């Protein structure tokens, strides 16, 4: 019986090793378990990336609109730099 959620391939291997102590003596069984654990870990990581896609798309839309830059300029409390091509009003 495997744990429901495995964080990494390494933790998956040690969980497998715990539940299959006799199979750890067979190198091909160990290799197969490591291969499967790595595949599951990669799929879980990919699933997390897929969850980010809508958020990244929304951020891109905000950046393209210019709304993010406008809010940052409005809320920036640092003194504004004066460039050579600008006139200074006293």
| Residue 82 belongs to some domain of the structure | no
Question: What per-residue confidence (pLDDT) applies to 87?
Answer: 65
Q: List the pLDDT tens digit at each of the 90 positions of the chain.
A: 444 444 666 777 777 778 888 877 888 888 887 788 778 777 877 887 888 889 888 888 888 888 778 888 888 888 877 776 666 655
Question: What per-residue confidence (pLDDT) applies to 22?
Answer: 81
Question: What per-residue confidence (pLDDT) applies to 3?
Answer: 41
Polymer length in residues for the chain: 90
Confirm if 2 and 18 have CB atoms less than 8 A apart: no
| Residue 23 belongs to some domain of the structure | yes
Tokens at 47, concatenated: 């699933």
> What residues make up the domain containing 55?
9-75
Distance CA 29, CA 65 (A): 54
Question: What per-residue confidence (pLDDT) applies to 80?
Answer: 77
Number of domains in the chain: 1
| Residue 47 belongs to some domain of the structure | yes
Distance CA 7, CA 15 (A): 11
Angle at 63 between CA 59 and CA 67, to 5 degrees: 105
Confirm if 39 and 47 have CB atoms less than 8 A apart: no
Question: What per-residue confidence (pLDDT) applies to 89?
Answer: 59
| Residue 85 belongs to some domain of the structure | no
Nearest C-alpha neighbor of 14 from the set 35, 39, 33: 33
């Amino acid at each position: 019986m495997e744990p429901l959620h495995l964080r990494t391939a390494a933790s998956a291997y040690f969980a497998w090793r715990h539940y299959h102590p006799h199979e750890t003596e067979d190198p091909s069984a160990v290799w197969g378990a490591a291969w499967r654990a790595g595949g599951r870990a990669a799929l879980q990581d990919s699933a997390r990336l897929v969850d980010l896609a809508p958020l990244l798309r929304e951020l891109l839309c905000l950046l393209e609109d210019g709304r993010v830059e406008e809010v940052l300029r409005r809320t920036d409390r640092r003194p504004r730099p004066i460039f050579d091509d600008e006139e200074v009003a006293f």
